[in-house]
Amino acid sequence: MLDMLRQQLIRLQKPAGIADAPAVLPLGVPAVDDVLGGGLLSGALHEIAATSEAHLPAATGFTLGLAALATGNKNFVWIAEDMALTENGAPYGAGLDVFGLSPERLVIVAVAHRHELMAAMEEALRCRAVGVVIGEVRNGTLDAVAVRRLSLAASDSGTLAFFLRTQPTHDASTAVTRWVVGASPSVIPGHARQSASPNGSEFGAPRFAVHLTRNRRGPSASWILEWRNPDDRFVLAAPHEPVAAPLRHRPHQKVA
């Protein structure tokens, strides 16, 4: 009788609509989703850092790709320190279109201090109209208590939260995953070689060298991922072997 009563109390305490298994966001790439335990854990905090400041656009693009998969019809909030917006610029509408994100759903918040960024992220995570919250921070450690509060807020709302950083860090964090992302040469369809065409009129799909350096639900791993537009999804980039270009101005030699 006591066991039955305990089970009934547990059922009553569980909020409606919460499943036993944690909700995940599949990236649609089996090799990545298997390592992540089915996908990126929703209602959690994740950190994405550029391999160096020069690779921040690649880390930003990867973050936007994840946001596009998660946002749906909801808004997404980008909160950045003033210095970050000054040095790195604000999200660009045409760039958002590449990742299938509607610029009119983006809310940009600029803050002067790090503690204001953390507080704004927490408030945004508790808004039901928001699907993804991105906090862009530069160098320096984060307040451990504030990071913990962000993780709890994300868990309560089921919203994805990302820290976008200019370089990798090793400070303590409650983030479920940590990623280090750099740019990878793209390939133009129909061309054997990499990068842009000679006249500069064509560009290949964005590619990202992605390193999962921390994963609480599985092992670490690395991949080259490509963002496919207009499919609006990630794919595992095909192995590419560089082909040597023919030598120019080489005198013609007759075969004896």
Is the model more confident about 35 or about 7? 35
Domains in the chain (CATH in brackets) are 24-187+201-236 (3.40.50.300)
- Report which of 158, 143, 164 is spatially closest to residue 47, judged by C-alpha positions: 164
**Residue 202, pLDDT score:** 65
**Residue 46, pLDDT score:** 96
Neighbours of 68 (CB within 10 A): 21
pLDDT tens readout for residues 59-95: 999 999 999 999 877 899 999 988 877 777 788 888 8
Is the model more confident about 5 or about 212? 212
- Cα separation of 127 and 75, whole Å? 10
Is residue 234 within 8 Å of 227, Cβ to Cβ? yes
Looking at the chain, list the stretches that DSSP marks H as alpha helix, in order from N- to C-terminal side.
Answer: 2-13, 30-35, 56-71, 82-88, 93-98, 114-125, 144-157
Q: Is the pLDDT of residue 195 over 50?
A: no
Amino acid at 5: L
The per-residue pLDDT of the chain, averaged, comes to: 82
pLDDT tens readout for residues 126-151: 998 999 999 998 877 888 999 999 99
Token digits for 207?
């590619």
3-state percent helix, strand, coil for the chain, nearest multiple of 5: 30, 25, 45
- Cα separation of 242 and 94, whole Å? 31
**Residue 256, pLDDT score:** 45
Is residue 44 within 8 Å of 160, Cβ to Cβ? yes
Coil, strand or helix: which one is 2? helix
Q: What is the 3-state secondary structure (H, E, C) of 126-178?
A: CCCCEEEEEEEECCCCCCHHHHHHHHHHHHHHCCEEEEEECCCCCCCCCCCEE
